Chain A
Amino acid sequence: MDLLLAGVRRAVALLIAGDAEVWSILLLSLQVSGTATLLALGLGIPAGALLALARFPGRTLLVSAVNTGMGLPPVVVGLFVTLLLWRSGPLGRWEILYTPAAIVLAQAVIAAPIVTGITLAAVQNVPEAFRLQLLGVGASRLQMVWVVLREARLPMLAAVMAGFGGIISEIGASMMVGGNIKGQTRTLTTAMVLETGKGNFDVAIALSILLLALVFLVNWLLTVIQQRRRA
């Protein structure tokens, strides 16, 4: 218990002192996971809407794949992305292994199925008859999808929170593809693992408190938006 208190005190001290390293770690975590979430949204929302609305051979297989992907262990993703980004790998020429870009990529891959799955369910929840009514007053296919997505905005905000929360707390993949390099790819979670391994438990706890505070802040903001739109 006293270790916990020591951690809290350390956390506050680090923040107030404006410890450059801690702030850069915080910022990096936010940047990387924020970008990855945006990427996941950009891929996942159209994919989810398409799967919900279109009918084509192999659709059921694809939906099963998405549902499986939602529960994919992040370490597995990390391993596969590493293999892709290795110098000897197919994407080696991108030279992004051990850079923040690699972490963004891995995290986006982790979050995308979550966003897709939730969007798919949310859009399917909108009655088919409603879609027909939109067409009946002259909506183009794209406009119809836009209104349907708008109808499903509450669960989709949940998708954003689920996606972001999952990846900012992620360790395994970030460690593998980022390398936990000081000043370059050290995030809150990888720094935590490092400090724990070194036995600096109070610093580790401080970092974990910062992480929790960050996640809570973001989710609080999103929740305010989500709950405010309820008429």
Chain B
Amino acid sequence: MPRLPLLALAALLAVGSPASARTPSTTVILSTTTSAQDSGLLEVLVPLFERQSGYTVKTIAVGTGQALALAARGEADVTLAHAPALERKYVAEGRLRNRRLVMYNDFVVVGPADDPAGAGGERSAIAALRKIAASRSRFVSRGDRSGTHQLELALWKQAGVTPAAPWYIESGQGMGATLAIADDRRAYAITDRATLLAFAGRIRLVTMVEGDRALLNVYSVMEVDPANGPRVNAAGGKAFADFMVAPEAQAVIRTFGVEKYGRPLFVPIAGKKDEDF
């Protein structure tokens, strides 16, 4: 019987060792959003970075708010998010630094083929949303305070509409699940292009509005001040951030998705500024 706890400890160590075999300073914690992870881009870029730099990256995909908050606390070394307003606030407050634009993808307004609200063909997303509200056509929202959700809410605000039940449905879930619900209910939704492309074969929703400036989704990388918390790997964080805006990564971003979807999911924009958009 006394052997048992020893066995357990040995097993625990065995299980724990592969990850902790890396010494702390070679581990980089990247906090990012679920949308960024779901696109699959990071599964290409991160191994590339690891091979080149020798760092091990732990990608923690959580909600936008949590991703930025973790970085601000020093619980992550670098963060990749797509909520420019919130990000600028963090930088202004000095909690995150060296914000650099990496890429953008765009959102699209989708809806049922018969288009009851007459939103199709509108150049402006805001105009389309007004029409949807006016006709009280069903609309499915993320409803989860994610970057996507915040963009959607900002659009409603600009449209001067307060969406509400019963035509406005909040799924509280990720993009894929939300799209599936919208498809099932023959409702409108706002989705990022990557998810739309991934789901193209499975749903019958069609694109209503695209290309509107307001629908651009800009991704930025930010670094963490070592003073934010103990054990911040500032060097590693910086290395990853530098990597993301370097030509090689940007090249990968430029062509990511072509093979699978026929068109790229993102547009690399390293070096540009917010004002350009």
Contact = CB atoms under 8 A, between A and B. Distances in A.
Direct chain A–B contact by Cβ atoms under 8 Å: yes
A181 B7 CA distance: 27
Contact of A92 (B1, B61, B176, B231): B231
Interface stretch (B15-23, B80-88, B98-106, B245-253): B15-23
Nearest to B180: A199
Interface in B172-218: 173-177, 179-180, 199
A88 B174 contact: no
A197 interface: yes
Contact of A32 (B15, B174, B231): B15
Interface string A88-111: 100011011111110010000000
Chain A CB within 10 A, most for which of B5, B7, B38: B5
A31 interface: yes
B20 A199 contact: no
B231 A95 contact: yes
B7 A101 contact: no
A95 B75 CA distance: 11
A200 interface: yes
Interface residues of A, number: 35
B199 A38 contact: no
A104 B20 CA distance: 14
B111 interface: no
A196 interface: yes
Contact of A96 (B20, B60, B174, B176): B20
A196 B177 contact: yes
Contacts of A201: 180
Contacts of B180: 199, 201
B200 to A, nearest CB: 12
A201 B1 CA distance: 44
A29 to B, nearest CB: 11
Contacts of B231: 87, 92-93, 95
Contacts of B27: 95
Contacts of A196: 177
B179 A42 contact: no
Nearest to A39: B8
Contact of B16 (A42, A96, A199): A96
B268 interface: no
Interface string B47-59: 0000000000011
Given A181-B58, A198-B38, A100 B174 contact: no
Given A42-B8, A43-B5, A181-B58, 13 more contacts: A38-B4, A38-B7, A38-B8, A39-B8, A41-B4, A87-B229, A88-B74, A88-B230, A96-B20, A181-B60, A199-B176, A199-B179, A199-B199
| Top 7 A-B residue pairs of the complex, sorted by shortest distance between their CB atoms | A199-B176, A101-B16, A197-B174, A42-B5, A38-B8, A99-B19, A198-B176
Interface of B: 1, 4-5, 7-9, 11-12, 15-16, 18-20, 24, 27, 29, 34, 38, 43, 58-61, 73-75, 173-177, 179-180, 199, 229-232
